[in-house]
Amino acid sequence: MSAQTSAGIAAHATRRLEKARRVVLSTFVSAVFVIAMVLGMALASAYGEGGAGVPLSLLATAGLVAFLVFYVRMSGTVLTGRMRLGDVVASGVLAAALSVLVVTDTRWIIIGPAWVSIVALGISSRRKVIALCAGVAAVGALLSLPASEVPPHWYMWPVMFGLLLAVCAAMVGANYLQKWLWDLIQEAYAAREAQTRLAVTEERLRFARDLHDLLGHNLSLIAVKSELAIRMADGDAARAKTEMSDVRNAAREALREMRAAVRGYRVVELDAELAGVRGVLEAAGVRCTVAEPPADLPPDVRGVLAWVVREGATNILKHSDARRCEISFTAFADSVVLEMVNDGAHPAGGEAGSGLTGLSERVTKLGGTITAEHAAQSRFLVRVAMPLPEPLPRPGHPGYPAETEELTTGRGERVA
């Protein structure tokens, strides 16, 4: 176990965000395979039935491949909000040219809605998207009339227009949903970063405020007393000596308070550490179950257990692909046991890290024991057993001093 730096945690979060981007992008790319399969079958049917010769088939294949390449390219850029105008125009020209092939097979009619579904993600105005869908549906319905196997009637164009408009709306809505999910992921990532920066800022302000409150008075007193001693040095040496004595006492008091404040900031509190570890692990995608620690634990025992929880969480983040973590406490009459187990543990390496060595020193200093070992099903278990001091006897308990015992002074006098 070694300490997990803030840079490492940030890098881990960035990798998770990039993984989410690839997952969302794959949902866009999956439409490419559907389009390629449907239109590939249409092209093969037209070629087999003599509806398209070799030159037309090769040209249509090249155009379809180019259109799908633009589709994938625009899918990637739309996630970053920078869709290129050149890609939109070039893909639109290809879509218009390929739509003419509807005279050979009606399945080519989907090329227009497919183009609209990806281009609409780069258009901020809803009215423009509706107008674009209506225009593509109108042109597609017009091109589909000559390809119809039945004689055209007046109602066929409105029916085809409504059908294509519905197809465009469905495909655009599906892509909008994926884009909305990606935006939601980005907002959650940005909110977590902002929350982290805010927590650091608040802690800095609190520390600055505490130092000001602790040292401000004493440092002001030192300054005033020092100036007074300087003025009294020539005329009243005794008074100057007294003032400098006060300066010395104020400086010692300021140093004592500063050390107490810093020591208080270094203390690891068990409850706060459990809450912090749970938040960090769940932010990293690890489902964490935390039990309530026993009440009335000695402060030194709580501090050691808090260090165990912190180092255990670091171990999970750095040396496992965990999805679950459980932290439990078991209280006995003379001891308390902490168990921290996670899944997805990596195979055992070489020697134990410095973090585990440091924990062993902290635990054994208070007479406890610690074990850290791999368990079944790729789990890793950290178990710490800490002894508890015997509670003080209470009145009425056999170990409590008898009421007849008397306390005496050094001269043998009875103390009431």
Interatomic CA distance for residues 81 and 93, integer angstroms: 22
The DSSP symbol for 104 reads T
Q: Which of 381, 377, 379 is nearest to 337 (CA)?
A: 381
Whether 270-387 and 194-266 are alike in CATH topology: the answer is no
Q: Note the pLDDT tens digit of each residue in 222-279.
A: 888 788 888 888 888 888 888 888 888 888 888 887 777 666 665 567 888 898 888 7
E strand or H helix at 161: helix 156-235
Q: Is 172 exposed, middle or buried (0-12, 13-18, 19+ CB in 10 A)?
A: buried
Query: Residue 6 has what pLDDT?
Result: 54
Query: Residue 305 has what pLDDT?
Result: 93
Q: Which residues contact 399 (CB under 8 A, 6 or more apart)?
A: 393
Q: How far is CA 148 from CA 104, 107, 152, 165, 279, in A?
A: 10, 12, 7, 18, 61
Q: Note the pLDDT tens digit of each residue in 163-216.
A: 888 888 888 888 888 888 888 888 877 777 777 777 777 777 777 777 776 677
- C-alpha torsion sign, points 284, 286, 289, 290: negative
Interatomic CA distance for residues 187 and 40, integer angstroms: 39
* Residue carrying the six token digits 């509807």: 102
Structure tokens at 123: 């258009």
340, β-bridge pairs:
327, 382
Q: Which residues contact 295 (CB under 8 A, 6 or more apart)?
A: none
Interatomic CA distance for residues 391 and 410, integer angstroms: 30
Query: Residue 384 has what pLDDT?
Result: 96
Query: Residue 152 has what pLDDT?
Result: 62
Delimit the domains of the chain by residue range. 6-189, 194-266, 270-387
Which pTM does this prediction carry? 0.47
Query: Residue 369 has what pLDDT?
Result: 94
Q: Which residues contact 353 (CB under 8 A, 6 or more apart)?
A: 1, 2
- Asked: is 194-266 a CATH 2.20.25.90 domain? The reply is no
Angle at 53 between CA 48 and CA 55, to 5 degrees: 135
Counting as low any pLDDT under 50, the low residues of the chain are 1-5, 400-416
Structure tokens at 308: 């165990």
Among 3.40.50.1220, 3.30.43.10, 3.30.565.10, 3.30.420.40, what is the CATH number of 270-387? 3.30.565.10
